[in-house]
Amino acid sequence: MSEILIIYSTTDGHTREICQRLQQLIEQQGHQVTLAPVDDAPDIRLESFDKIVIGASIRYGKHHKRIYDFIKSNEQILDSKPNAFFSVNVVARKPEKNQPETNPYLQKFLRQISWQPKQLAVFAGKIDYPQYRFRDRQMIRLIMWITKGPTDPETVIEFTDWEQVETFGQLLSNM
């Protein structure tokens, strides 16, 4: 049995939902999982965990700055343990952009950090126009119009492939 920490950043809550599903899957394999938003990371003793997983959402093409800061501050301990990173973004809804090697946001992120995660994943996110503030709704609709995605302001679409999440959960259990 391993003690696994999943640190995450989420903009609208969907990355947290993915983390909760990973937690369920991993705990079914007999491991103990602690979920923590990246804001709580400074209060966590990373040394007490056997494995560390980081999950981060994208908003306007970028992962949250606190994820970069967390990685930079903890790179040595991350490298010393089995670890993984996953990105949640709506561009991953496209089959040609739903793998770590083909997802432009994940590839850009990896070029911006010196840490090299041992395992990688990318999951398609969710669009929930009614939940967004006016400005975000309009910006995301524009981005979706440009990328031929859904633009109806009443749309709620979850693009996440939950089987892909389950496969990653199994990988995390076994790493």
Report the CATH number at residue 34. Answer: 3.40.50.360
Domain count across the chain: 2
Question: Which whole number is the average pLDDT over 117-134?
Answer: 95
CB under 8 Å to 130, separation ≥6 — which residues? 153, 154, 156
Q: Which domain holds residue 88?
A: 3-125+160-174
Is 61 a residue whose pLDDT tops 90? no
Nearest to 93 by CA among 81, 111, 105: 105
- What's the CA gap between 82 and 58, in Å, rounded? 24
Whether residue 140 sits in one domain with residue 119: no
Is 70 a residue whose pLDDT tops 90? yes
pLDDT band at 16 (very low <50, low <70, confident <90, very high): very high
Whether residue 96 sits in one domain with residue 16: yes
Q: Give me the pLDDT at residue 126, please.
A: 94
Is 105 a residue whose pLDDT tops 90? yes
Whether residue 169 sits in one domain with residue 92: yes
Whether residue 146 sits in one domain with residue 100: no
Assign residue 99 a region (left: φ > 0; alpha: ψ between -120 and 50; beta: otherwise): beta
Nearest to 172 by CA among 37, 45, 23, 71: 23
Residue percentage of the chain with pLDDT more than 70: 100
Q: Give me the pLDDT at residue 144, please.
A: 86
Lookup result for tokens 């995390």: 172
Whether residue 119 sits in one domain with residue 59: yes
Say how far residue 84 (Cα) sits from the centre of its chain. 10
pTM comes to 0.92
